[in-house]
Amino acid sequence: MFKIFWERFKHNKLAFWGFVIILLLTFQACLVPFIAPYNPAQQNISNRLSPPSCKHLLGTDELGRDVFSRILYGTRISLSVGFVAVGVAVLVGTLLGLWAGFFGGWVDSLIMRLVDVMLCFPTFFLILMVIAFLSPNIFTIMLVIGLTSWPGLARMVRGECLSMREREFIQAAKLVGLKNNRIIFVHLLPNVLTPILVTATFGIGSAILTESALSFLGLGVQPPTPSWGNILTAGKDYIHTAWWLSFFPGVAILITVLAYNLLGEGLRDILDPKMGDKNE
């Protein structure tokens, strides 16, 4: 099965190159202390707002800090927020969706009403409201994004479970007396991993965008810790005289989110048997 998956994956050029970009970004985030040419917090007022040059590849900001180094360190922040936030959302959404789909009845009604309440609020404004009462730091951002992103996943997992719980292998597992937890996590969960994986891939890109927007508004990662969003915040005040402060972090966000979206589209096509047959 892995060989079949790899063959399909290699032939899906957009997904393949999306995966390559993500791999490069991940390695860069891990090795950033060794490849960044400057300390991202190092200031040099005499060299402020210098345009891109051989000394500073992407120029300097209003405090003379190297923009290239700050964007490299910002990659680590953005990817960390994406992975942790989506991990929280996947954990909560998958568990609640499995319970709702398997048990049905009042359990299903209670969880779905909670999902309906969560979906009534625009996610971004709900995040803003929660962060307004909490200290805006990276850990808070991760948890808040994760805890507000699970309803869609829970609804999808519930739908998959509803279609599977009446199938023969689930009925057979019940007849032989297996415990509910074993049926849910050993028999049901593996059969819904494909849509979970695809949704999580898209979710990482969405979480990165959300973190960047919060940091841009000053409610996300706080200076002097570099993130793509707060680099953009500094750039908006100098957009007419120092275009590089807005352009390069914007390109970094674009490339990263696009890579995750391409990978998600490719995984959906490859892992869906019907789409796989069409590709062949």
CATH number at residue 80: 1.10.3720.10
For the chain, the C-alpha Rg in angstroms (whole number) is 22
Q: Mean of the per-residue pLDDT values for the chain?
A: 84
- Tell me the pLDDT tens digit for each residue of 153-174: 999 999 888 888 878 888 888 8
Report the distance separating Cα 72 and Cα 77, nearest Å: 9
- Tell me the pLDDT tens digit for each residue of 77-102: 888 888 999 999 999 999 999 998 88
Q: For the chain, how many structural domains are there in total?
A: 1
Residue 43 covered by a domain: no
Residue 71 covered by a domain: yes
Domain range for 113: 2-32+67-279
Residue 58 covered by a domain: no
pLDDT at 199 over 50: yes
* pTM of the shown model: 0.84
- In this structure, the dihedral spanned by the alpha carbons of residues 130, 136, 138 and 142, taken in order and rounded to 10 degrees, is 0
Kindly write down the DSSP assignment for every residue of 20-63, as one continuous string.
HHHHHHHHHHHHHHHH-SS-TT---GGGTTPPS-SSSTT-B-TT
- Tell me the pLDDT tens digit for each residue of 227-276: 888 888 878 888 888 888 889 888 999 999 999 998 888 888 777 655 44
Residue 61 covered by a domain: no
Residue 62 covered by a domain: no
Residue 55 covered by a domain: no
- Considering only 64-68, 213-217, 256-260, which range has the smallest mean pLDDT? 213-217
